[in-house]
Amino acid sequence: MREIDPKIEISWKHALKDEFNSEYFYELKSFLVEEKNKHVIYPPGSEIFSAFDNTPFEEVKVVIIGQDPYHGQGQAHGLCFSVPDGIKAPPSLVNIFKEIKNDLGIEIPDTANLEKWAQQGVLLLNATLTVRANQAGSHQNKGWENFTDSVIKKLSESRSGLVFLLWGNFAKAKQQLIDQKKHYVLQAAHPSPFSAYNGFFGCKHFSKTNEILNKLGKKEIDWSL
């Protein structure tokens, strides 16, 4: 088996070296090479690991877990819930902005690019890091979930005092990977229009996160964009 040398931020490359040298990751890479030969894949290859490149391992303070990249043209850029500048905010992100306004009084921004959060220590992690164009969930169960579960476990084991925001049943299932004696887990409904009124609106996760960070002596997140 050939060693895989991914283009990913150096602290993550070190932290996840066992994953990159594993059989499942080799199979995942082979699958992606084959997919790219036949289909359009999102996000672009250089942005698959954007969440890691923007938020080095030791700088993570908050983890937000999404499920899949957006599958529309120009939307996915490697950060969960986020879209690049100039792309309209998808419905779930609009609801996230509404909750931030209700919670903290921050006006809904013109941009839907969350890189500013990522650069302050918010790891915006999708469970699956790629998708076939216009086919939601098309790269699920190909190996990415093994990889991102390992990311969560590695953070849980090696760091302390992280805040995990788990929105919706898919994200809530990840709590079993987190040592809740060392970390903080906040749960709510998913911000999707189908569920936001069932417990996402009013969750106040953004102010609660900053209260925890403040208590730990860490710099709070500026949730404005």
Q: Which residues are catalytic?
A: 68
CA-CA-CA-CA torsion sign (102, 106, 112, 116): negative
Whole-number Å distance between alpha carbons of 54 and 197: 31
HSE at residue 166, side-chain half, CA atoms within 13 A, is 18
Q: Which residues pair with 79 in a beta bridge?
A: none
Category of 107 on φ-ψ map: left (φ > 0), alpha (ψ -120 to 50) or beta: beta
The torsion angles phi and psi of 140, rounded to 5 degrees, stand at -75, 150
